[in-house]
Amino acid sequence: MQLKFTPFLCAFLIVAALMLNSCSIEQAVSNPSSTTSRATEATNNTTAETTTEASSVSENTNKTSQKMKDLPRLEGKATVVIKVNDSPITIEIDGTNAPITAGNFVDLVSKGVYDGLVFHRVIGPQSKPPENPFVVQGGDPQSKDPKFPTNRLGTGGYKDPKTGQERRIPLEITPKGAATPIYGKPISEVPELTHKRGAVAMARSQMPDSASSQFYFALADLDFLDRNYAVFGYVTEGMDVVDKITQGDRIQSAKVTKGAENLKQPG
């Protein structure tokens, strides 16, 4: 029987590959002179590896903490309305469970970054050929150029005009019932914000802290993405509009209609 690579299977394999790549392999101890020396060397190696790993985790945590200080935050909720094909899509943005991810999105909406951008990736009933409902993805700033071919989109992020560098945000997922999010890595727990139909989440590369401006709508329940990608809101009205989006459709406008005062800028 030939295995059919559906979008769901492909996405599952991608997530599995990410998880496998995070695994570590211990180095074997070579040519020990005795049982005692093997035990001593193994203990020393384990201690050294543990110390090195703890130092690395601490360093990454410090870098992430410093990076978050330079990013906008959303303290509470906000409402964003995206207009596509002359029809509104209302999204409730959750800054309680995803303050950095939500703050980044609301900030970019406020700056007009999404106006005119293309939905470059559509995998669902409106795709060619039609597929099982999966995602509608957009938010690449390069797509604002009307001459930019849609088959080359999906590689760009928002560049901060002050620094000239692409703004990237850490992977941010809050486990269910937890007081604060976990940053910089996939989680093993069930998240507070799940990939149910209508979820809005950040797209990223294999690196956990690589999300910038690209986002996607979940066209179906996609629970296999829950622990690896950051959901930051849900469509509350206009899901029928999302379902009809085709590749090449543009965001006519994106506006914060409620909760703009909850956006806190760094500094």
**8: Cα separation from own chain's centroid:** 17
Task: Give the domain ranges of the chain.
Answer: 73-260
Provide the pLDDT for residue 155: 84
**Which of the 8 DSSP states describes residue 113?**
T
Other Cβ atoms closer than 10 A to 146 = 8
pTM over 0.95: no
Provide the pLDDT for residue 73: 98
CATH class in words for 73-260: mainly beta
Token output for 112: 């007009």
* 143 contacts: CB under 8 Å, gap ≥ 6: 117, 118, 120, 150, 153, 156, 250
Provide the pLDDT for residue 262: 98
Provide the pLDDT for residue 47: 35
Give the residue ranges of DSSP H helices in 70-116: 99-110
Q: Count of residues for the chain?
A: 267
Q: Measuring CA to CA, which residue among 110, 57, 58 is closest to residue 102?
A: 110
Provide the pLDDT for residue 249: 95
Provide the pLDDT for residue 119: 95
Provide the pLDDT for residue 150: 66
Provide the pLDDT for residue 267: 82
Q: Is the dihedral of CA 14, 19, 193, 184 positive or negative?
A: negative
Provide the pLDDT for residue 31: 33
Distances 83 to 44, 53, 179, 256 between C-alpha atoms, Å:
61, 47, 34, 12
Task: Read off the pLDDT of residues 88-118 as tens digits, 9 standing for 90 and up.
Answer: 999 999 999 999 999 999 999 999 999 999 9
- Residue 239, class by beta-carbon neighbours within 10 Å (0-12 exposed, 13-18 middle, 19+ buried)? middle
* 67 contacts: CB under 8 Å, gap ≥ 6: 170, 209
What is the per-residue DSSP string for 216-239? EEESS--GGGTTTS-EEEEEEE-H
Stretches in the chain below the pLDDT threshold 70: 1-66, 150-152
Provide the pLDDT for residue 50: 37
